[in-house]
């Protein structure tokens, strides 16, 4: 009787390159990777984001055909997080329009201080042209309109010293942007403001501005 031959195992059809895909939301993973790269001060590219996300270099291009598309999505995500902090601050603020204007300014500065990479992305043209994102353009217009409404309400209630609301609005924007920029660029130590004092200093500076525009 011939000896029974043991069947040879079938060769696996999976090639070494055909690894399982583990990311349930590649778009989200790539945006987070790009945000991390920006926070580290590194060069943000689609390929580097793919490397951080541990996917093949070609995988991201189904979502982001180029770097500008990736950076637009990154900026929109940073803006959504910034807007969430603004909305939360206003939800907890009193109904008085100047108190709400103050809360808006503080939320702006605090968000920029706690998320410097996000602030850099949404406030400068270093990474991409902001006007290329309809979502960013729309959201920024909404925030401008929001501050206009606060100041209009304050004027209608007789709370402001000046009727030039546009000048007040621009001065307020310059104040919070400039403060956030000074912090990001590391200026405060030379002004004698220690790290742990910066947020309190921001609050004091904004209060000084509010006192300057309010009718006594």
Phi-psi region of 7 (alpha: psi -120 to 50; beta: other; left: phi over 0): beta
**pLDDT, tens digit (0-9, with 9 covering 90-100), for 173-212:** 999 999 999 999 999 999 999 999 999 999 999 999 999 9
Query: Which region, left, alpha or beta, applies to residue 6 given φ > 0 means left and ψ of -120 to 50 means alpha?
Result: beta
pTM over 0.85: no
CA-to-CA separations, 103 to 81, 111, 145, 164, in angstroms, rounded: 16, 12, 16, 21
Tell me if 182 sits within 8 A of 205, measured CB to CB. no
Structure tokens at 193: 């403001």
Q: How confident is the model at residue 24 (pLDDT cuts 50, 70, 90)?
A: low
Mean pLDDT over each residue of the chain, to the nearest integer: 86
Written as one string, the DSSP assignment of 174-208 is: HHHHHHHHHHHTT-GGGGT--GGGHHHHHHHHHHH
pLDDT at 18 over 80: no
**Which residue reads 């300057």 in tokens?**
212
- 83: tokens are 């807007």
Question: In the chain, pLDDT over 90 holds for what percent of residues?
Answer: 56
Q: Do 85 and 110 touch, CB atoms closer than 8 A? A: yes
pLDDT tops 50 at residue 157:
yes
Assess whether pLDDT exceeds 60 at residue 1: no
Non-local (6+) Cβ contacts of 207 within 8 A are 102
- pLDDT band at 26; cut points 50, 70, 90: confident
Domains and CATH numbers, the chain: 22-65 (1.10.10), 75-213 (1.10.357.10)
């Amino acid at each position: 009787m011939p000896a029974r031959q043991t069947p040879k195992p079938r060769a696996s059809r999976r090639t070494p390159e055909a690894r399982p895909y583990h990311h349930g939301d590649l778009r989200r993973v790539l945006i987070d990777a790009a945000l991390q790269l920006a926070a580290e001060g590194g060069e943000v590219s689609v390929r580097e984001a793919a490397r951080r996300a541990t996917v093949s270099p070609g995988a991201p291009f189904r979502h982001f055909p180029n770097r500008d598309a990736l950076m637009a999505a990154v900026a929109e995500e940073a803006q959504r997080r910034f807007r969430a902090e603004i909305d939360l601050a206003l939800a907890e603020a009193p109904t008085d329009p100047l108190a709400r204007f103050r809360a808006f300014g503080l939320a702006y500065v605090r968000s920029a201080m706690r998320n410097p990479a996000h602030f850099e992305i949404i406030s400068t043209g270093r990474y991409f042209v902001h006007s290329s994102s309809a979502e960013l353009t729309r959201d920024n217009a909404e925030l401008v309109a929001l501050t206009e409404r606060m100041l209009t309400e304050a004027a209608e209630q007789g709370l402001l010293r000046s009727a030039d609301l546009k000048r007040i609005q621009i001065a307020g924007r310059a104040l919070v942007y400039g403060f956030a920029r000074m912090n990001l660029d590391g200026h405060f130590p030379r002004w004698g403001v220690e790290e742990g004092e910066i947020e309190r200093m921001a609050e004091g500076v904004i209060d000084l501005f509010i006192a300057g525009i309010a009718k006594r």
